Amino acid sequence: MEIIRDPVWNNIRVDPLALRLVDTPVFQRLRYVRQLGLAYLVYPGATHTRFEHALGAYHLSRVAIALIRERGELTQVDATETCITSIAALLHDVGHYPFSHALEEIGATHHEVVATTLVTTGTIAEILRAEVAPDAPERVIALIRGESSSPLQGLISGSLDLDKIEYLKRDAHMCGVAYGEIDVDRLINSMLIVDDPATGASTVGVAEKGLSALESLLFAKYQMYRNVYWHHAVRSATAMYKRIVEDACDAGVLSRDGLAAFTDEGLLALLLERAPSPLLRALRERHLYKRAAEWPASELDDGFGEWIGSDRDRTHAAEDRLAAMLGVSRGDVLLDYPEKTQMLGLDIPVQRRDGRTERLTAAGIGGAINLPRLSQELYRSARWLRVLTAHPIDADRIAVLREIAAS
C-alpha cells in the first residue's frame, strides 16, 4: 500500500492496482480540473481538484466496504465485486469537463457518458481486464452510471452514495466554511446491505440509527448549494463561462465533442489565443455580471423557466429581448437558472430497530422528520432564477418576469 496524505481524510491507503490507474494520463488530467469550477473567484481556497476528490471517494469506499464486511453482510459478494466497486469510486469523475458541470448545460455530452469511452478503451481498460476481470471495465461503468445490479451499487451512485459525502466534506473544508459538517463516521457506520422491500434484491440501505446523520447530510448539502455552489457571483461567472465556450463552439474554434480532453487552464489558454472577447477578458479580470433581478424557485410556478437550462436558442432569444427592453447592448444580459436537480434524493431502504426494512420515500417514515419533503422545500429556496447584466441596472422585476414568461 502507498500512503497519500490528504487534508480531509489524513492518510489515504492506495493499493497497487489503484495506483496504476492513478498514474494513467486520463486520471492525471483530473489534477488540473477544479472541483468547484469558478467558485475560486468567490472562495479563494476553492482551487482543489477532481483528482483529490476521486482519491477521497476511493478511500471512503474502502472504509465502507470494510465495515459492511465486518458485519458479515458480504458473504454473497466476492472479492472481485468489492474491488470493482472501489475502482468505480476512484474513476467516477474521469469524464468531467473543465470547470466542472457547467458545459453539460450547453449541450456537451454528460460526463458519465464520456467516462464510458475512457474506462472501456485504452490504458485503463487494459489494466482492468488484465488485473481484475475481462468484463471489469463494463462493470465499473455500470456502477458509475447507476445501471449495475450489484448490491454495492448504492455506494457509487444513489441516494446516499459516497461521492456526495466526500465532496460536501471536502468542498466545505477547502472553501473555509462551516456548512459541510456531516457526521461521516456515523453515516458510514450505519450503512448496511438489506433486502429491498419492493424487489427483494440486495442493496445498500441505512440503519434507523443513522437517520440523524442523514439529516446532517441533507442540511449540509442545502447550505453548500445556497452559499457556495449557487452563490450569485459563482453563478454569474458560470453563466459568462458557458456563453464564452458556447460562442467558441458555434464559431468553429472548439468542438463540443472534444471539450472533455481539456484542463481548466488549457481551455482558457486556447480561448485567449483563438477566441478573445470582451466577455472572456471580463471573466479573467473578475468583472462579473451583476444581478438585475432574481426570484427563488419557491416564488415561481412549477416548470417556470426550465427551458433556460436546456433550450439554448430560446434562452439567447430571450436574453436579446431583455437587452432591448433594458436598453443595453446585445450580449450584456444573461439568464441563469441552475439545472434542475434533486437537493438530495432520499428513496432508500431503512432498517428499523425491530429488523423490518422500509423505504424512506416521499411519504416519510414513522418517528422521523419527513426528509424527502423537507429536501424539496430546501431545494426550492436555494435555487434562484437570475437576470444578470454587464453593468448594474435597476430593473422592473415584474416587467422582466413577464418578458421571461412570454419567451
Is residue 182 very low, low, confident or very high in pLDDT (cuts 50, 70, 90)? confident
Within-domain flag for 22: yes
Res 199: pLDDT: 86
- Mean per-residue pLDDT for 104-131? 93
Domain with 28 in it? 2-227
Within-domain flag for 300: no
- Mean per-residue pLDDT for 102-112? 85
Is residue 370 very low, low, confident or very high in pLDDT (cuts 50, 70, 90)? low
Res 343: pLDDT: 54
The total number of structural domains in the chain stands at: 1
Percent of the residues in the chain that have a pLDDT greater than 70, as a whole number = 95
Res 179: pLDDT: 78
Res 364: pLDDT: 54
Is residue 366 very low, low, confident or very high in pLDDT (cuts 50, 70, 90)? low
Within-domain flag for 8: yes
The pLDDT tens digits of the residues spanning 286-301 come to 999 999 999 999 899 9
Within-domain flag for 184: yes
How far is 269 from 274, CA to CA, in rounded Å? 9
What's the whole-model pTM score?
0.94
Within-domain flag for 245: no
Within-domain flag for 274: no
The pLDDT tens digits of the residues spanning 309-351 come to 788 899 999 999 999 999 999 999 999 998 866 655 667 888 9
Percent of the residues in the chain that have a pLDDT greater than 90, as a whole number = 71
Within-domain flag for 362: no
User: What CATH number does the domain containing 200 carry?
Assistant: 1.10.3210.10
Within-domain flag for 139: yes
Task: Indicate the average pLDDT of the chain.
Answer: 91
Res 390: pLDDT: 97
Has residue 393 got a pLDDT over 70? yes
